[in-house]
Chains A and B, each alone.
Chain A
Amino acid sequence: MTACNAMELMICVASTFLEDGAIVVVGTGAPCAAAMLAQKTSAPNLTLMFEAGGVGPRLPRMPISVGDSRTFYRGLMATSMADIMETCQRGMVDYTFLGGAQIDPYGNLNSTQIGADYQHPKVRLPGSGGANDLGSFCWRVLVITPHDRRRFVPHVDFVTTPGYLHGPGAREAAGLPANSGPYKVVTQLAVLGFDEASKRMRVESLHAGVTLEQVQANTGFELLVAEPLATTPPPTAEQLRVLRNEVDPQSYLIGRA
């Protein structure tokens, strides 16, 4: 097994969840790297889309903005934000990646504010952007996030983007598209999914050398545990080679370790 750092590990693991032939809407940073890596390894026919209108680029390097010109560099189409979102709303987009300052047991995400009082937040964060739309419309939502108790909280201060809201059937009752929602949460410690019956977060596989106690200790709520609990397959030498040499050769994201 080739040694790698936490960011490399998360990108490699996340990339394996993207099926060949699917469409994924990505943002900048780790999600973009994971999608690029998948394209260059396990999913050569993956189509990338960006929220501001970029479709199918030959990414020359990592974009800085989800609206910058690299998101359609030698691309298949440069369209509108509404076109991208409507492609998601009508059910054509399989995956998206989202993040946030906080996530709860149902995968609800907060990127709006820290503090519970809307008029007087402790910290104002950007807000939904396109996250609420993508988290409502795409079939499967992936989250790449550092794993700690500040982020994994029992209740988010503000539900910016819907996960499973308060449990089974809640998305559908609110009017959100049926059978969509959070799929996997990839952290530096584990891969987490969502229990079919309760829609609550559960540990599905531990990364090599990580214990269940460690994962629970870094989570602010009780986690369910899959039976049997697997070990995450480590990144392959080929994945790491492509990630380091082709996806992020300047090591902007994966660091210069």
Chain B
Amino acid sequence: MPPSEMPLFASPNCEEARMTFRARDKRMRDKVTDVADAVRRFVNDGDYLASGGFGGDRIATALLHEIVRQRRQSLSFAGHTATHDFQILCAGNNTGRGQLLARCDIAYVVGLEARGLSPHARRVVESGQVEICEWSNYALAVRFQAAAMGVPFLPLRSMAGTDTFRFSAARSIQCPFTGIPLVAVPALWPDVAVIHVHDCDRFGNCRIRGTSVADWQVARAAKKLIVSCERIISDDEIRADPTATTIPFYCVDAVCEVPFGSYPGNMPYEYYSDEIHLREWLTAEEDPQRYQEFIDRILLSVDCFADYLERSGGKQRMQSLRDEELFPERSGGPSS
């Protein structure tokens, strides 16, 4: 198999990573803060960013908006089924706000699954201003797994033989036991990750309900982690059922309570995705001028996430998305 051709955007050096994790503050301390403060303290220009959930499902919308509002520059990003999360970050490129995204490991970007392609995300990626490198979703999950394990790489059996491999930074290796060809993917330790969860205590012990996607791995791989949650619960409640804890406090740097924090994304057992809002966003992107006005109105000029929710239909809209999530069999349709 011809070698892959693309650059690595993050070092797979496990000794460096160990030094970083050694230096972390591991005390059980109160980490509750607001979104603006968390982003100010923990997201720096030039950072490698990872985002939890699955594109439009259980995403840390409030934190992603804030990263755009605070005008972070030159970030690298892990695009494993990045849909609406990628769309939000792209608001920091080609909009007179410099260049938020500079490098992207791509497994899936610029699309919103069945909803169609994002015209603005396409403009950003097709302009050539973002350095890109191909992977598959599983390959990126395995890269986070290697990082979570503290090893420099892991093998897998996909990507082989394709242009997805050729335009990646993976390597072809031979199994030392069976001799078969394998694909080796390097560990990925993001500088910072943002993850939205259901419940979290003030120390950062988190519960996720429903699918975990790659968040178990991302939370352990990240050098810094900001968590937003639907609600802060007591540490007694965490201790009553430790089986339910998916992310432990020592992986977490900041805790932000943001009800409806995944809106307009879906949040399992809480609220369904707002398909009307997502369609409005996609439609606004068709025309750069109209898009600029749209992101000014719903993102750049808002004070906080609660203000965004208010401008997106407020309590009434949130209640109908809750109904649609909890009673899907009786709700009228995907956009009702």
* A residues whose Cβ falls under 8 Å from a Cβ of B: 27-29, 51-54, 60-62, 64-73, 78-82, 85, 89, 108, 112, 118-121, 123-133, 136-137, 158-162, 165, 170-171, 173-177, 250, 252
Contacts and interface: CB of A to CB of B under 8 A. Distances in A.
Contacts of A170: 161
A68 B142 contact: no
A179 to B, nearest CB: 13
Interface residues of B, number: 69
- From DSSP, what is the main secondary structure of chain B's interface residues? loop
Interface centre among B58, B137, B167 (most CB of A within 10 A): B137
Contact of A67 (B53, B109, B134, B156): B53
B115 A128 contact: no
A161 B162 CA distance: 7
Nearest to A132: B136
Given A68-B57, A68-B273, A81 B137 contact: yes
Contacts of B252: none
Interface stretch (B175-183, B226-234, B302-310): B175-183
A129 B163 contact: no
B164 A128 contact: yes
Contacts of B141: 80-82, 85
Given A64-B113, A136-B160, A128 B213 contact: no
Contacts of A29: 114
Contacts of B137: 51, 81, 85, 128-130, 133
B161 A125 contact: no
Contacts of B80: 81
A58 B125 CA distance: 38
A80 B220 CA distance: 14
B107 A127 contact: yes
The 8 closest A-B pairs by CB, nearest first: A67-B54, A53-B211, A174-B161, A175-B181, A126-B111, A129-B108, A136-B158, A133-B138
Given A174-B1, A175-B157, A64 B138 contact: no
Given A52-B57, A68-B266, A80-B211, 12 more contacts: A51-B137, A53-B211, A67-B81, A82-B145, A125-B111, A130-B137, A132-B159, A137-B158, A161-B162, A162-B160, A174-B1, A174-B181
Interface of B: 1, 53-58, 79-81, 83, 106-111, 113-115, 117, 122, 125-126, 128, 134-139, 141-142, 145, 156-164, 167, 172, 180-183, 209-214, 216-217, 266-269, 272-273, 275, 325, 328-329, 333-334
B169 to A, nearest CB: 14
B273 A64 contact: yes
Contacts of A171: 161
5 contacts: A52-B54, A64-B115, A67-B54, A126-B110, A132-B139
B160 A176 contact: yes
A160 B164 contact: yes
B86 to A, nearest CB: 10
A79 B208 CA distance: 11
B309 to A, nearest CB: 20
Interface centre among B122, B163, B180 (most CB of A within 10 A): B163
A162 B183 CA distance: 14
A124 B125 contact: yes
